[in-house]
Amino acid sequence: MPTLLDGKLVRDAILNELRPRVAKLAAEKRPPGLVAVLVGNNPASEIYVRNKVKACEEIGMVSTRQMPTTDVSTEELLFLIQSLNQRPDVDGILVQLPLPGQVNEREILLAVDPLKDVDGFHPMNSGNLMANHAGFRPCTPAGVMRLFEHYQIPIAGKHVVVVGRSDIVGKPMALLLLHANATVTICHSKTADLAGECRRADILVAAIGRPAMITTDFVKPGAVVIDVGINRLRERRQVESIFHGSQAKLAAFDKGNNVLVGDVHPDVFPLTEAYTPVPGGVGPLTIAMLMSNTVQSAEWRLGV
């Protein structure tokens, strides 16, 4: 029987570890502070940022939002970032992506102080990851590593295939696994015989952003499958096809006009040794690791 890798369970364990550290900071100095910069009125981004703020408050951190209007210029946003860089009560700066087209996204991300870059996207933190030096790790890959640790899934000597090469998930995931002594293959949309490469994996990490793309042809029996993808199905026929007419899924679609599915087809899960569900797998860990990075930043900055 495959093991369901419960991200909510691991998230709660991480937050329970952070609470006494936050309390110590608050008693001796001040609570950790996170500022989320959210441009415009993207409903999905608003929900995501609201969840992050709520998670901060639940463990005693201070979290605020800066919400420039959609027509903000690069210069105006740079001024805001620089002001947050200089504030002593701010330990973490989160710039919610994507930014509007008129804003130079690269310039904004480069402007964030690397010591407050709790998303782990700044080139300085990318370099620290490459060299395996101390620094902030991107939250989703770091969360996957905590999942492996919690469930005592061995990594050293295993062949891991990462499907996806983004700077946010795929590349840092591969580096973290290399540092843990895995043999890593990175695949992407241009990989020849993608299914064949994936079938070689002892551990398969799917982060390609295509709903239910990883089918049973991609997975060898007994593999561990980590599904990083979060895709919304907005057509009823898609839900019916992927979930084989599941009445529960169809009812959920009819109620909310969408259903979540990962990059891994549900038919894969019975073949695995262990797998992450969507939702409830990797997603909760991303926010938990953002909290962890912010607490770490506060400890470094305050000397506690």
Enter the pTM of the model.
0.95
Q: Which residues pair with 224 in a beta bridge?
A: 203, 274
What is the side-by-side order of every strand in the sheet holding 33-37?
62-66, 33-37, 92-95
C-beta of residue 267 within 8 angstroms of C-beta of residue 2: no
For the question of residue 119 being annotated catalytic, the response is yes
Looking at 91, 96, 238, 263, which residue is catalytic? Answer: 96
Mean pLDDT for 252-272 is 95
**pLDDT, tens only, 123-174:** 999 999 999 999 999 999 999 999 999 999 999 999 999 999 999 999 999 9
Q: Single out the catalytic residue among 52, 158, 171, 249.
A: 52
Does pLDDT of 44 surpass 90?
no
Q: 248: alpha, beta or left, given left = phi > 0 and alpha = psi -120 to 50? A: alpha
CA distance 228 to 141: 9
Domains in the chain, CATH or no CATH each? 27-122 (3.40.50.10860), 139-285 (3.40.50.720)
Segment 93-106 mean pLDDT = 92
Q: Can 113 be counted among the known catalytic residues?
A: no
Q: How many CB atoms are located within 10 Å of the residue 74 CB?
A: 16
Residues present in the chain in total: 304
pLDDT of residue 208: 95
Residues facing residue 92 across a β-bridge = 34
| Tokens of residue 12, six digits | 């709660």
96 is catalytic: yes
Does position 45 have pLDDT exceeding 80, yes or no?
A: no
Q: Which residues pair with 264 in a beta bridge?
A: 214
The SS3 call for residue 35 is: strand
**Rounded to 5 degrees, what angle do the CA atoms 162, 170, 167 make?**
165
143, burial (CB in 10 Å: exposed 0-12, middle 13-18, buried 19+): buried
The CA–CA distances, whole Å, from 84 to 33, 36, 234 equal 11, 10, 38
Choosing from 91, 116, 117, 119, the catalytic residue is 119
